[in-house]
Structure 1
Amino acid sequence: MIKYLIIDDEYVAHDIIKDYCDMLPNMVLQKNCYDAIEALQYLNEHDVDLIFLDLNMPKLKGFEFLKTLTSPPKVIVTTAYREFALEGFELNVADYLLKPFSFERFLKAVNKAVNSPTKSKPSIGETNTDTSKSIFIRSDKKYIQIFIDTIQYLESAGNYTKVITTNETIITREKISNLLISLASDNFLQVHKSFAVSKKHIKSVEGNRITIGDHIIPIGKLYKMKVNELLG
């Protein structure tokens, strides 16, 4: 479960973020905070994995609040002010959402936050292993949570991409290049213009073919060097 906190002085912003989070599995709202002081009091007694943080609030501004935290959780800034983006990234926020933002942009921010490393703890979740890292992928009319550790390879299929896991095959209308960015992991290697593989699931490499489970993945000429580097 990903426990999150919303800190914003606008009630409408709380409603939008909660509605978006309700569309994703395992996102659990802990508290609605309408100023940073209220949030500080809550965080003194509770832990959360993710904060959605507004900047222009009464009593204590968003970044000033963030600077008071010794071991902050992941933070996604939600604001109407573009000019503070640089300061946000200097404070190591996971992403910077400009209001109004679409659900697709929101989803990318959550995926980025969930899968990016942090100094205070290895990842959002209960453990520090890859099995706790996940990505939300749109398939048909719903969003499916896939644990990254189970992904064997990606296959581009026209305007779609197949995500082949140890349990199932999921088809999403997303470019393979965008999926690799969302995965934000060094464990994946593109070996062909239409294929990217999980290094940990490779069974063998022979000639211009990679075997993963019962699947044979071709190696493109332009990607052969990357595979050779993997083999040492």
Structure 2
Amino acid sequence: MIKYIIIDDESVAHDIIRGYCDALPNFSLVQSCYDAIEALECIRNNKVDLVFLDLNMPKLKGFDFLKTLQHPPKVIVTTAYQEHALEGYELNIVDYLLKPFGFDRFLKAVNKIDIKVNLENEQEERKHSDSFFVKSNKKLIQINFDEILFIEATGNYCKIITSNEEIQVREKISDFLERLSTNNFYQVHKSFIVSKKHIKAIEGNRISIEDYIVPIGKMYKNALTKLL
């Protein structure tokens, strides 16, 4: 479900956007805001995935409002002013809708946010799960996070070393960084990610994990020291 707010000082604009969103099964309105101050309070107190943002508003203009947000939701600009489009894309907006816009153009814009939010939600769910699946030798294998000792990159593959077995998968080490909690797993070398709970000892540039020795890369050593 994509939770959205509308920020516009014209009630007609609210009616149009809300009507379009009501035609979609996975959109839920959090609040209709008529100025940026009202929107700031709403975002502070609610989970908001998407903002439909008008630019020409009282008190605080649209892009000025956007610049005040440390971690802004996804933003689709809705405006009658084409000349601000470049500035909008520099602020990483999802799309720029020129008023008046029809449902087909609206749908094209929200399809972008649908994909982005769903991907982010899937990544977040994986991080809070107890396990995940990998494909190895044409079969799916479920791996518990607690059992992982370390992961080693070897060419186009990665080896997942667990308490019980070694599993080789055709994935990049960066793919695992997206799945693993940064509180429990640390990248200590360009080719190694280790589980904090299984570290037995650190001596010089080497980490002992059960009967294994994992190297610490020079560029990772200071960061590792701070984390521990």
After TM superposition, the score normalised by the length of structure 2 is: 0.53
Quick one: structure 1 residues 73 and 122, their matched pair in 2 at CA, closer, same or farther if it must change by over 3 Å? farther
Once the 2 structures are TM-superposed, how far is the Cα of residue 74 of structure 1 from its aligned partner? Answer: 0.6
Which residue does the alignment assign to 1:74?
74
Distance 2:54 2:88 in 1: 11
Aligned twin of 1:90:
90
Q: Which residue of 1 aligns with 2:186?
A: none
Shift of 1:129: 7.5
Could you state the TM-score of these two structures normalised by the residue count of structure 1? Answer: 0.52
Q: State the Cα distance separating 1:122 from its structure 2 match.
A: 5.3
Equivalence for 2:7: 7
| Secondary structure at the counterpart of residue 44 of structure 1 | helix
Q: What secondary structure is seen at the aligned counterpart in 2 of 1:128?
A: helix
Two-structure CA RMSD over aligned residues (Å): 2.1
Q: Does 1:100 align with 2:100?
A: yes
Q: Which amino acid aligns with 1:88?
A: G
Cα deviations by residue, 1:111-150 (Å, 9 ceiling, x for unpaired): 0122247xxx952xx432799xxxxxxxxxxxxxxxxxxx
Could you tell me whether the CA contact under 8 Å between 1:49 and 1:73 is conserved in 2? yes
Change (3 A) 1:81 1:10: same
1:35 aligns with 2:35: yes
Task: Write out per-residue CA displacement over residues 205-224 of structure 1, whole angstroms, 9 at most, x where no aligned residue.
Answer: xxxxxxxxxxxxxxxxxxxx
Letter in 2 for 1:61: K
Q: State whether residues 94 and 116 of structure 1, in contact with CA within 8 Å, keep that contact through their aligned partners in structure 2.
A: no
Higher-Rg member (1/2):
2
Percent identical pairs in the alignment equals 67
Gap runs ≥5 in structure 1: 132-232
Partner Cα distance (1:63, 1:78) in 2: 12
Equivalent position of 1:127 in the other structure:
122
Over 3 Å counting, the alpha-carbon distance change for 1:129 and 1:44 in structure 2 is: closer
Q: How many Å apart are 1:26 and its aligned residue?
A: 1.3
The number of residue pairs the alignment matches comes to 126
Letter in 2 for 1:40: L
| Residue 31 (structure 1) shift | 0.1
Counterpart for residue 149 of structure 1: none
Q: CA deviation at 1:44?
A: 1.2
* Structure-2 separation of matches of 1:13 and 1:68: 23
Say which structure is richer in helix.
2
Deviation (angstroms), 1:105 = 0.3
Match for residue 25 of structure 2?
A: 25
2: CA distance between counterparts of 1:21 and 1:45?
22
Superposition map of 1:1-232 within 5 A: 1-116=1-116, 123=120, 126-128=121-123
Residue-by-residue CA offset, 1:165-184 (whole Å, 9 max, x unaligned): xxxxxxxxxxxxxxxxxxxx
Instruction: Identify if the C-alpha distance between structure 1 residues 58 and 24 changes in structure 2 by more than 3 Å, giving closer, same or farther.
Output: same
Deviations 1:54-104, CA, capped at 9 Å, x for gaps = 000000000000000011111000000000000000000000000000100
Change (3 A) 1:130 1:81: farther
Between the aligned partners of 2:113 and 2:19, the Cα distance in structure 1 is: 18
SS at match of 1:85: helix
